[in-house]
Structure 1
Amino acid sequence: MIMGERLARLAEAGVSIWLDDLSRERIASGGLARLVGERSVVGVTTNPTIFASAVSSGDSYGPQLNELKGEAVDDAITAITTDDVRAACDVLAPVNKDTDGVDGRVSIEVEPALAMDTEGTVAQARQLRERVGRPNVMIKIPATVPGLPAIRQTIAAGISVNVTLIFSLERYRAVIEAYLAGLEDAAEAGHDLSRIHSVASFFVSRVDAEVDKRLDAIGTDEARALKGRAAVANARLAHELFRSVADDPDLGPRWKALVEKGARPQRPLWASTGVKNPDYPDTLYVSELVTAGTVNTMPEKTMDAFDDHGEVVGDRVVAQAEEARETMAALESVGVDFADVVQVLEDEGLQKFADSWEELVGTVQEAISAS
């Protein structure tokens, strides 16, 4: 099969393929443009670990690092990361135009230390949007409890948001509410709602990693038979919640009124789609979550695997909702406390964000000293 053909089929099924990686070298070499042109990539997501890896490998950052000597490290990081995101936005600008703003998006994350700081998050979201200075940038804000009003206020300011670190259906419903409220505020402030875009990043593989560990600890045959099923089931139920908004007695009328003003859906995005258990198919969290109108953000390794042997066999989400409910009920029946699972995953996710930022700080400090 021709390179990129399987990814093209995935795109034809309505899945927007976003690359979970970025580096200055990838941009300057034309590698990102080739992924867009040859492998159906229509977006990019970033995080501090991705930037730390980029800065520590290769010489692309040398001249800028030399110019940044004497700058505070946080200011240096802002300069480096927003420059890269701006350049990636320019590469993806034609996609953004061709899709009427839906794709061609590049996401940049607020500092992890702000995850519990509503006002600090909103202020930095504004700063990052201003520094990047491109209409196709998205600001990543974690869906913590203090993050919810930050999401609302950022949307209200007319800024597109990638809501990240979502694990539970309960929190996802709160994210939907924050998005609708933000759009209502934006309309009141006179913003053009058609220019505000958002995705809700539902994390996948980490759910199986945590649940499988608990199923092994339970140790029964019935428990072990459920391994590798929780993450996909949870994501499928999240998509059912997304589909139900129009019919919800509270949210439905509000959404209809917003659509009449030009509002766009907040698309579900499947994040953390690299398989962590080598016993599972390496395309599991792509092939089993194919459904139109969603985003799958993949590390390049997962993208390569799908390009090599991934299969698209129609919609794998909508008709599987009842099966997903049965899976979640079965997990509960064998003793898995899923509410505790998602709380542990959120706590761990916030710690990973913080560790990732510290890694980036250390990498940039070392690189500036060595330049």
Structure 2
Amino acid sequence: MALRRRGQSVWRDNNFERSWITNGKLQHYINDHGLRGVLSNFQSSQAAIEAKEYAIDFSTLANQNIKCSAGHKYDYLIRRDVQLAADLLKQTHSQTRGGDGYVQVDLPPHSLFQAQSAIAEAQILWDSIGWRNLMLRIPGEHPGCVKVLSREDNR
């Protein structure tokens, strides 16, 4: 909280774990330690999947005989976690008038090679999460800049 008094915002980077959401740890860090946002990326999501954080979810999808690609299952699970985390940070987002309280998530890697596919994927992700405190990260390399500029031109 001392950092907050000095105008600094603490965000949790990487290791965006479902267990932090479900066991109350994320809420605890928001309430008691002044956590102001979380950052997610595909590497941390992959690590969570490999650590069996989503084993029950994958089993449930299999038991319900839901037939979809691994990518669709991944999208569903990650989007659900992002929604839950964003919900926990809504009050921070509101209190800071949008200055903090975000959940940042990467666009899927497959969408980053074409500007139009990145823009379309960003819109799908934004619409499916449904919270204003979602922050989409687009790589800052030249192709990423083209995507941002293309999006700005379409407004």
Task: Give the direction of change, closer, same or farther, for the CA distance of 1:86–1:153 in structure 2 (3 Å limit).
Answer: farther
The residue number in structure 2 matching 1:19 is: 12
The answer to whether the 8 A contact 2:115-2:150 is kept is no
1 CA distance for matches of 2:96 and 2:46? 31
The residue number in structure 2 matching 1:30 is: 24
Aligned-partner residue type, residue 61 of structure 2: L
Shift of 1:56: 2.8
Shift of 1:118: 0.9
The answer to whether the 8 A contact 1:116-1:145 is kept is no
The residue number in structure 2 matching 1:101 is: 98
Equivalent residue in structure 2 for 1:40, among 17, 34, 49:
34
1:64-115 deviation line (CA, Å, top 9, x unaligned): 2124333201111110110100000001011011011111100111122333
2 CA distance for matches of 1:68 and 1:149? 37
1:216-247 deviation line (CA, Å, top 9, x unaligned): xxxxxxxxxxxxxxxxxxxxxxxxxxxxxxxx
Question: What TM-score do you get using the length of structure 1 for normalisation?
Answer: 0.38
Equivalent residue in structure 1 for 2:124, among 116, 124, 127:
127
The residue number in structure 2 matching 1:64 is: 57
Aligned-partner residue type, residue 24 of structure 2: G
Which 5+ residue runs of structure 1 have no aligned equivalent?
Answer: 1-7, 157-181, 187-371
Task: Report how many aligned residue pairs link the two structures.
Answer: 150
2 CA distance for matches of 1:72 and 1:98? 39
Q: How does 1:259-278 map to 2 (within 5 A)?
A: none
Question: What TM-score do you get using the length of structure 2 for normalisation?
Answer: 0.87
1:258-311 deviation line (CA, Å, top 9, x unaligned): xxxxxxxxxxxxxxxxxxxxxxxxxxxxxxxxxxxxxxxxxxxxxxxxxxxxxx
Shift of 1:58: 4.9
CA RMSD in angstroms comes to 1.8
Q: Higher Cα Rg: structure 1 or 2?
A: 1
The answer to whether the 8 A contact 1:115-1:147 is kept is yes
Shift of 1:11: 2.1
Which 5+ residue runs of structure 2 have no aligned equivalent?
Answer: none
2 CA distance for matches of 1:113 and 1:128? 14
Aligned-partner residue type, residue 90 of structure 1: D
